[in-house]
Amino acid sequence: MAKTLAICLSIRWVVTFGTQYRDRLEELTQDPTEVEIWRILDETHGQTLTFGIREYRMIRWGQRGGKFVEVLTRTGHKVFDLTGLALIFVALTFATGHRLSHGLNVPWILLILCRVSCVLIAIQMILIMAEAIFCYVRMSSYGRAFHNPNSYVSASDYGVFLKEVFIAVGVAIYCVLTGTATAYFSNFSGVGIRLPAVSDPLFSAFIETTLCFINAAQPEVVGWFGQLFILLTTLQGVGLLILVLSTLGNATPISTSPSVRGRRPRAD
């Protein structure tokens, strides 16, 4: 729920201050540092803890608290990041589905947790794509807002294009991976979808999710959870298509000024 709220807040910020943030980045000529990015965020009202640009205030606070606090806050950020949440979700649903496939008992609270997680992670993926699309509309780029914006100052047209394409590919991989975990779990939980009777249910879950994702076919539905799975998966497919078109149409660099990349000085 916290990450879902964070994405919604970042979308609101992009819509309200995205153009101003982009203009301030374009004013940078050389040596953009993490501290300079933080200053621009402060000046453009990116000031809430759950704001998604690397949760920068939490990291800055951690740097000022000493090495141990910095490591602790950066570790917390990795867990709070979509990558960490997706991996935790996939591990949880796969493990639960595996137990169910062997006829082992699973606590009812864990079943509820998995189902709620399945819905939330799908909604988060849809919101991530919405966030990216709004970034393209307001900033002409998604990466410059959320993926090391200082490295965009000196990037060539080709370099920026590859950055944006890699981001879109990553979103697609997360969608298919989390969808496969959901399909695998729901097949054995008795509520959701029913996979074809094959020797490898995991591969079958991947195929059914991919086909649903591109709207080529739909798995057999069992109850409301299966209908919700199809709806959310289809919405992810539509969102990814729009994201890919936005990536191809808007991947442009901020400038061609010289820059020193990768510098991450400690906060003052």
Q: Is the pLDDT of residue 263 over 60?
A: no
pTM of the model: 0.72
User: CA 102, 105, 109 angle in degrees (round to 5)?
Assistant: 130
Q: Is the pLDDT of residue 50 over 70?
A: no
Cβ-based neighbours of 178, under 8 Å, separated by 6 or more: 86, 89, 90, 121, 122, 125
Q: Do 128 and 7 meet the contact criterion of CB atoms below 8 Å apart? A: yes
Residue 204 token pair? 């079958």
Per the DSSP assignment, residues forming a β-bridge with 222 are: 192
Per the DSSP assignment, residues forming a β-bridge with 194 are: 220
* Average pLDDT of the segment spanning 155-182: 80
- Residue 267 or 244, more confident: 244
* Average pLDDT of the segment spanning 31-56: 65
Q: What is the pLDDT of residue 89?
A: 82
Q: Do 193 and 229 meet the contact criterion of CB atoms below 8 Å apart? A: yes
Q: Is the pLDDT of residue 144 over 70?
A: no
Q: What is the pLDDT of residues 73-130, one digit of tens each?
A: 667 666 666 566 677 888 888 889 888 888 888 888 988 888 888 888 888 888 888 8
DSSP states of 154-218 as a string? Answer: S--HHHHHHHHHHHHHHHHHHHHHHHHHHHHHHHHHSSEEE----S-HHHHHHHHHHHHHTTS--
- Residue 146 or 105, more confident: 105
**221 SS3 class:** strand
- Band (pLDDT 50/70/90 cuts) for residue 49 is very low
Q: What is the pLDDT of residue 21?
A: 83
